[in-house]
Amino acid sequence: MWERIVQIFKKEMIQIFRDKRMRAMVFLPPIVQLIVFGYAATTDVKHISLALLDEDRTTVSRDFVEKFEAGRYFSVARYLSSPAQADVLMDKGEVDAFIYIKKGFEQAIKKGDGADVLIVVDGTNSNMASVTLGYVNRIVNAYSEEILTEKVMRLASLRSGSSVPVLIGPTVLVERTWFNEDLESRNYFIPGIVALLLTLIAVMMTSMAIVKEREVGTMEQLIVTPIRPIELIVGKLLPFAVIGYIDVALITAIGTLWFGVPLKGSIPLLFFSTAFFLLPALGVGLFISTISATQQEAMLSTFLFFFPAMLMSGFVFPIDSMPPAMQIVTYADPMRYMIHILRGIFLKGLGVRYLWVDFLGLFVLGTVVVGFAVMRFSKRLK
Amino acid sequence: MNEHAIQTKGLVKRYEAVCAVDGLDLTVQRGEVFGLIGPDGAGKTTTMRMLAGVLRPDGGQALVLGSDVIGNPEQVKEKIGYMSQRFGLYEDLTVAENIDFYADLYLVGRKEREARFKRLMEFSRLGPFLGRLAGKLSGGMKQKLGLACALIHTPDLLLLDEPTNGVDPVSRREFWKILYDLLAEGVTIFISTPYMDEADRCHRVGIMEKGKLLISDTPEGIRKGMKTRIIEIKCANPKKAVALLQKMEGVADVVFFGDKIHISVRSQKPDESSIRKFLEKQDTEPRSVRAITPSLEDVFFELSDRP
């Protein structure tokens, strides 16, 4: 049995590495993906440009505006003279947010009435808008707290006559982020690329390689040999498992060494989990090969699987924010488990003790998919 | 041991509405070259594929080398060699890699392989091209490589689906020479071809059309059983003669054959002398009128009842 598997494997490897396009398919996608997710695709919000309309023009209002400019997130791009100007700037996309300080800001604060400030955010990009509002909230809260503390202290010193301040400040929230301390989105994405690429290789390259034999006519010649279907299947799938491993190593190396993504967990566990993920992924590839007559069909079917699987995996959009019905559907998505395992290993350094549920999920899903695909795979022409 | 290399009874294969093979009864004896001839779409390839265990029939029985290829297609695979109509080898592998690959799939032992390889190189003369990619070979070379791969495991029966299609005459002749050598070694050869002239190289032929076997016999036997007589005419004014002959009673078909005219006559009535007289009367100056041996192509047209 193994002799034939080895021969198919060898033949496949020669073909893959002899073909320029196939060779590129092995090394190029991981590098492109790393560049895209490492540099360009970031959900971090920086450089928010503001339009400012300060009708108060007092030291207090200027002090307030300075709070925005002090941080690294905001910069005032335009000073306006009327609110109507903000409309145009927003439409053009020149500014992301608009701050409107009305006349009487200083007075209201001094009187202790509480002052109103209007902030308008461009909600076209909802993610950016909510992050912006978060920053604004934080700045405004800090500012209010400052004023409040100052007032309380002045009040206290007036009453007691002493200069010892009585602190009755409000509850203070101390923020700490664990596991991805800098909230770098690349740390979040790069481990996920492993799952993304393994899926592409295992599903697309595998299904195309099998369908190619049928399309070119070599399958017919294979069928008349005494090779058993299982030998043919294993021999055809193994090379892509190997390529998958090459890419996992490549992404891990570049991700950690070049992009500085932390790898807190164990590398053996990472490779171990790759095998678990390859089971359902190769199964899907095999299944697609049984329903596609041409390589083009196989490629289209791959994307039909790939995009929903990626979107539901939690790679970009958190599963917890999906509607409950959708959350249930994600359990059928092998990428979901793998993304969780990868982030667990890379960012948290988790071991099997915490990840076994995902391993089990992959194993069950893999067995079902592979079983179904093998049943459909027939050593005959149609 | 079963006497026959191939025996089918009522073999049927349907593709949706079309019946590609329609109740085929076929017998091929061991040690013979059997030629399956017929036009494109007659069902030759489908028959071939079913016999090779590549395609599952919709009905009937098929015994190949004594085993049932419908119920258990794997059993006989060690003993048959098959060459599909399309080049079925890897164009991105070299000649040597292709042969090795098939030797490995058939689990041919090292010693046996060496001997076999030498022998295959001798007759195919592929030796100088071992390192060349299969896709870069000429059509004739490709067919020889296909044959070499189909023979690497020393099969008892060779199934060849139109192996000489699109191959130049020189390579075709060489290819047949190889087949006769194999025959001398005791290999049974079942070959399909759209070329009627190749049928004369076979021991027995079966003529197939629209999924049915019209006749199966030796080439001579088939010719003898033919009712049609073919008469060859040379004359000074062939164009006029053709027009006249087409209207003559008892003439089934009139065809140009270079500067000659062939007519098919399906009864005794117009014989050579009456035709000559007829043409002389019409001023077409016949130089010779004689009956010739019908070709298998003529047989095919008679059997399929085409004009």
- CA atoms within 13 A of residue A195's CA, in its CB half-sphere: 33
pLDDT at B83: 94
Torsion angle (degrees, nearest 10) of CA B128, B132, B138, B144 = 60
The set of long-range contacts for A299-307, using a CB threshold of 8 Å and a minimum separation of 24, is: A299/A204, A299/A208, A301/A207, A302/A200, A302/A203, A302/A204, A302/A207, A305/A203, A306/A199, A306/A200, A306/A203, A306/A204
Tens of pLDDT, residue by residue over A362-379, are 999 999 999 999 999 877
Chain A contact probe: residue of B105, B145, B160 with most A CBs at under 10 A: B105
Assess contact for B231 and B274: CB atoms under 8 A. no
Inter-chain residue contact A218 with B89, CB threshold 8 Å: yes
Q: Which class would CATH give A48-158?
A: alpha beta
pLDDT at B1: 47
pLDDT at A306: 95
CA distance A218 to chain B (A): 4
Residue A268 to residue A291: CA distance in whole angstroms: 35
β-partners of residue B190 are B34, B159
Tens of pLDDT, residue by residue over A92-123, are 888 989 999 988 888 888 887 778 889 899 88
Assess contact for A243 and A26: CB atoms under 8 A. yes
3-state secondary structure labels for all residues of chain A? CHHHHHHHHHHHHHHHHHCHHHHHHHHHHHHHHHHHHHHHCCCCCCCEEEEEEECCCCHHHHHHHHHHHHCCCEEEEEECCCCHHHHHHHHHCCCCEEEEECCCHHHHHHHCCCCCEEEEECCCCHHHHHHHHHHHHHHHHHHHHHHHHHHHHHHHHHHHCCCCCCCCCCCCCCCCCCCCCCCCHHHHHHHHHHHHHHHHHHHHHHHHHHHHHHHHCHHHHHHCCCCCHHHHHHHHHHHHHHHHHHHHHHHHHHHHHCCCCCCCCCHHHHHHHHHHHHHHHHHHHHHHHHHCCCHHHHHHHHHHHHHHHHHCCCCCCCHHHCCHHHHHHHHHCHHHHHHHHHHHHHHHCCCHHHHHHHHHHHHHHHHHHHHHHHHHCCCCCC
Chain A contact probe: residue of B97, B100, B104 with most A CBs at under 10 A: B104
Q: Which two tokens stand for residue A147?
A: 């004023």
**Residue owning tokens 């301390």:** A181
CA distance B151 to chain A (A): 11
* Closest Cβ–Cβ partner in A221, A226, A227 for B88: A221
Tens of pLDDT, residue by residue over B129-169, are 999 999 999 888 999 999 999 999 989 999 999 998 888 88
- CA atoms within 13 A of residue A364's CA, in its CB half-sphere: 10
Residue B166 to residue B172: CA distance in whole angstroms: 9
Tens of pLDDT, residue by residue over B61-81, are 999 998 998 888 888 999 999
ipTM entry: 0.84
User: pTM here?
Assistant: 0.79
pLDDT at A43: 67
Nearest to B153 by CA among B120, B200, B188, B192: B120
Assess contact for A350 and A198: CB atoms under 8 A. no
Rounded mean pLDDT of chain B? 88
Q: Residue B160's closest chain A neighbor by CA?
A: A221
User: Residues of B numbered 79-138 whose beta carbons fall under 8 angstroms of chain A's beta carbons: which are they?
Assistant: 80-84, 86-93, 97, 101-102, 104-107
Q: CB-based contact (8 Å) between B19 and chain A?
A: no
Tens of pLDDT, residue by residue over B122-135, are 888 888 999 999 99
Nearest to B52 by CA among A230, A213, A381: A381
- CA atoms within 13 A of residue B250's CA, in its CB half-sphere: 16
Residue A324 to residue A329: CA distance in whole angstroms: 9
pLDDT at A13: 93
Residue B187 to residue B183: CA distance in whole angstroms: 5
Nearest to B3 by CA among B80, B65, B69: B65
Domain ranges of chain A: 2-42+184-381, 48-158
Q: CB-based contact (8 Å) between A31 and chain B?
A: no
Please give the order of strands across the beta sheet that includes B67-68: B18-29, B4-15, B59-64, B67-68
Q: CB-based contact (8 Å) between A14 and chain B?
A: yes
Assess contact for B120 and B152: CB atoms under 8 A. yes
Q: Is the dihedral of CA A243, A244, A248, A251 positive or negative?
A: positive
List, for chain A, all residue ranges whose pLDDT scores fall below the cut of 70. 41-44, 160-172, 180-183, 381-382
User: Backbone dihedral region of A265: left (phi > 0), alpha (psi from -120 to 50 degrees) or beta?
Assistant: beta
